[in-house]
Every structure is written in C-alpha cells, then in structure tokens.
Amino acid sequence: MLQDNRIWVGTSAGGPVHLLPAMANRHGLIAGATGTGKTVSLKVLAESFSDLGVPVFLSDIKSDLSGMVKPGVRSDSLDKRLRGCGADPEAFAYKAYPTVFWDVYAEQGHPIRATVEQMGPLLLSRMLSLNETQSGVMNILFRVARAEGYALRDLQDLKAMLVHIGENAKEYTLTYGNVSSASVGAIQRAVAILEDQGGDTFFGEPALDIGDWLRVAQNEDGTEQGVINILSADRLFNNPTMYSTFLLWMLTSLYDRLPERGDAKKPLIVFFFDEAHLLFNNCSRALMEKIEQVVRLIRSKGVGVYFITQNPADIPMTILGQLGNRIQHALRAYTPLDQKAVKVAAQTFRTNPAFDTEEAITTLKTGEALVSFLDEHGAPGIVERATILPPQSFMGAIAAEEREQCIAESPLYGVYEEAVDSEGAFEKLSAQKKAQEAAQAQTTQAPRFLLVNGVLRQVVPVEQAREFVQYNGNLWPIL
C-alpha cells in the first residue's frame, strides 16, 4: 500500500516501515521458512509497485498469486492485522490488479516463446545440462550457423544443425575445434529430452517482445497502474533446470535490450523470482559470472530483482551482497545446520538495540518479519520487527474459468497465441539436401548412349561434346 508515494510494507514498534521507490532497483530478498508469509509479502510489494505505475513480473509456482485479478475479502482477522499496523480497516481498499498471465507451455496464459538464437549457447547448454566439452560443441554450432547464414529459430533448426555439423565434423573441426560425434550424439539426446518436456513449445516464433511486460494500464481517473505479469510456473517448475534457465534468459534479455537509465524516482520494472535457490544450482562458472554481472548492472537500467527463497544461505554471497532491501520471515532452528542459517541471516542485518536479531528470527509470527530497507542515501536501515500489511487483492488461487476469462479479455490476446514457422536452418538445410539429391539423381540417370537419327551416339562430359541433343526434356552433350 502506498503512503506519501512510499511503499508501506508493515508497521514496527517505531511506526510504519517504508520501502523507497527510488531505492527499489537496488534489489531485494524475501526469505523465511515455509508458510511464514513470503508470498503475501511479495504480493504487498507487487501491488504497491503496480499502484506506483511500475509493471512487475512474478513467477507463480503454487498458483497462489493468481488471486491478484480480484479484490481481497475483508475478515475479522485482517481487520485485526490492519489495526495492529495502524491502518483503518474501514478505509482499506480491497481491489483487483491489472494482470496478464503467461505460460511457457501455452496452457495457463499467453505463450512465451524465444528463438534458439536468442537463448544463446551459454544458457542453452545449461538448459540441456551439457558438460564442458559438449558446451564447446554447442558454441561451435552457433558460430557455424552465424557464419553460414542458418537461422536457429526452433528445436527443429537446432536438430538439423546438429546433423549438419555431425556430417561435416572433419571440416568444422579443422576450422573451429573438435566436433566429436560422441558430443553431437549427447546433445541430440539432451534435445530429445527437452522436447519431451515441452521445450518445443517454448522455442519458436513469434518471440516475446519484452516491451509487452513493460505495459501500464490506464485507470478511469487518469492514473496509471503497472501491469502485473504472472508466469504460471506450476508445470514449468516440475523441470527445475528449465524453470531457472528460463528466468535467467528473461533477466539477460532485459539487460541486453534496455538502455542505461541512471538513478530514477522509481524502477522501470520489478522482477520477483520464487524458489530462487534453483537459479544457482548446476551453474557453470561462466554462467555464474554472467548472472552476477547482470544482477549488478541491471539496476542502472531501472530493473529491480527480488529473490524469494526459504533460506538466505541458498543465495551465493556475491549476489546476496547486492540485495539491499530485505524482508526476513521466521526461520526454524531445529538442527545445527538450521541454527547456522539463522546466524548467517541475522548477520546480514544492522542490529537494532531494542531486540536480539537472532532470537527474533526464530520467534516471528506468520506475516511478521524482520525488515531492513535502504535509506535515501542507499545505506541499509536498522532492522525493524514489523507486522506486514495484508494484500489488497485476493489471497489464494482463482478458478480455471476465471483465469480463462482473464486471458481472453487480455489486450495481448491473439498476439502470441498462434505459432509461426518461418524459414530457419531446418528448412534451408532440407532444401539444400533436396537440391543435392536431385542433382545426384540427374547425374546417375544420365544415359550413356543416345540413339540419334538411327545412330548410337555416346553421351560425354560437356567439354568433350561435339554437339547437343534434346532428350527427355534435357540437353545432352554427345560425341
């Protein structure tokens, strides 16, 4: 909820706690054990960004974010929470938010597609869980495709290109480095698995125009609200490597496409990545460096990134250090490992003399959190123990029909629904193969002798020809 153009997240003993929109691009973290209120805190932030006119992107793994399309429902317990936060329950506005659903599998939202080329060899290798040697071959494949003008749009193109470099491995090995048939075979098997997991829906065209995530909706009173883009990720999440690589692709493509912006009053877009620890599993060093770099530099392009995870220790230190705005819900401290995690989490905060941070983390109630946001100078504020406000939209999932209606009424309906299959490497290579076969067929079908005016004449190579005769629609050189 907004208060004097600042995001009012909750209230501590010292009064309301605010996140400053100008500091929202300094990234953030929402952590806490299961059921402690992370998703609700995320919603409170997302709604406020929307009210500021800032579009947001959320990955929804349990479908419990879909409720943002309709107003929340007043209840005694929410009234009590509001009063506890110093808000007037009578004046609290339960409302719906402009929401657009997306789905990589094109089932629960507009399809999101990217071309193989856009994904690039680094991320694609990760998506296919390739080892270093195989990733090297993938790199070569991309270089050959670029050099020889083969467009890599969908998985068919990728497969055709794999056959092509496999068949011409000797030649390419000389120019680009080792292309072993074992590596090509391994990549082909990995592509087949990706296809079975529905990767063929994701790769293709029309590719997503990231501008479609930066939309704002016009209210009747002339004010603007940022559109809430929800990625329906319950199916995608069943394949954690694809889920996490997809999110990384989004981040890197935004980074590549957006211009530098410098400091601004509010961010251009804010991303919330649920189950964020998955992003960093099985990352090659090259990819890890890329993620760190993107996270570090993307803020000057006006993009805020908020990671949601159970345990802050799941996030690599180099990234954790860049997350300026923090909401820490309760952590359990049953095992020595848990206790260590609590310590680590506590150490990331500037202590408040009023309470012991470590002890507070283990005793927070649901919907209560330790909160520290950056001040106007970019310095982390002293940690506060705050009760988080309730969201204004509906808490929980919506019915399938409600979702369908929302998709059908979306201004983007029809833009991405139909896949388009334009000429790529597959089409070009098949056409070349066909032409080659036809030429070969013609040479093998060439007659050795022709009967010309009752005399048998020998068919010879063109340069030895005495004359040419017409036969079977072709001109033949003869002696």
Question: Does 98 help bind ligand ATP (rule: CB under 6 A)?
Answer: no
Residue from 40, 236, 313, 345 that binds ligand ATP (CB under 6 A)? 40
Question: For binding to Mg ion (CB under 5 A), which residues are involved?
Answer: 38-39
Residue among 33 and 69 whose Cβ is closer to Mg ion: 33
Least distance from ligand ATP to the Cβ atom of residue 73, Å:
11
Q: Are strands 455-458 and 449-452 parallel, antiparallel or unpaired?
A: antiparallel
Residue from 26, 70, 81, 153 that binds ligand ATP (CB under 6 A)? 81
Question: Does 326 help bind ligand ATP (rule: CB under 6 A)?
Answer: no
Least distance from Mg ion to the Cβ atom of residue 116, Å:
33
Question: Does 38 help bind ligand ATP (rule: CB under 6 A)?
Answer: yes
Least distance from Mg ion to the Cβ atom of residue 64, Å:
6
* Residues linked to residue 10 through DSSP beta bridges, in sequence order: 17, 388
Indicate which of Mg ion, ligand ATP, none lies near residue 36 (CB less than 5 to 8 Å, by partner kind).
ligand ATP
Least distance from ligand ATP to the Cβ atom of residue 30, Å:
8
Indicate which of ligand ATP, Mg ion, none lies near residue 459 (CB less than 5 to 8 Å, by partner kind).
none
Stretch that binds ligand ATP, among 27-35, 87-95, 354-362, 439-447 (CB under 6 A): 27-35
Residue among 32 and 226 whose Cβ is closer to ligand ATP: 32
Least distance from ligand ATP to the Cβ atom of residue 274, Å:
8
Tell me the residue nearest to Mg ion as measured from the CB: 39
Stretch that binds ligand ATP, among 37-45, 163-171, 244-252, 441-449 (CB under 6 A): 37-45
Please work out the total of residues on this chain that contact ligand ATP, with binding judged by CB under 6 A: 14
Indicate which of Mg ion, ligand ATP, none lies near residue 104 (CB less than 5 to 8 Å, by partner kind).
none
Indicate which of Mg ion, ligand ATP, none lies near residue 86 (CB less than 5 to 8 Å, by partner kind).
none
Least distance from ligand ATP to the Cβ atom of residue 324, Å:
21
Least distance from ligand ATP to the Cβ atom of residue 44, Å:
6
Indicate which of Mg ion, ligand ATP, none lies near residue 366 (CB less than 5 to 8 Å, by partner kind).
ligand ATP
Residue among 17 and 276 whose Cβ is closer to Mg ion: 276
Site residues (CB under 6 A) for ligand ATP, limited to 356-415: 366-367, 388, 390, 395
The secondary structure of the chain, three-state, reads CEECCEEEEEEECCEEEEECHHHHHHCEEEECCCCCCHHHHHHHHHHHHHHCCCCEEEEECCCCCHHHHCECCCCHHHHHHHHHCCCCCCCCCCCCCCEEEEECCCCCCEECCECHHHHHHHHHHHHCCCCHHHHHHHHHHHHHHHHHCCCCCCHHHHHHHHHHHHHCHHHHHHHHCCCCHHHHHHHHHHHHHHHHCCHHHHECECCCCHHHHCCEEECCCCCEEECEEEEECCCHHHCHHHHHHHHHHHHHHHHHHCCCCCCCCCCCEEEEECCHHHHHCCCCHHHHHHHHHHHHHHHHHCEEEEEEECCHHHCCHHHHCCCCEEEECCCCCCCHHHHHHHHHHHHCCECCCCCCHHHHHHHCCCCEEEEECECCCCCECECEEEEECCCCECCCCCCHHHHHHHHHCCCCCCCCCCCECCCCHHHHHHHHHHHHHHHHHHHHHCCCEEEECCEEEEECCHHHCCEEEEECCEEEEEC
Least distance from ligand ATP to the Cβ atom of residue 92, Å:
12
C-beta separation of 382 from 6 below 8 A: no
Positions touching ligand ATP (CB under 6 A) are: 32, 34-40, 81, 366-367, 388, 390, 395
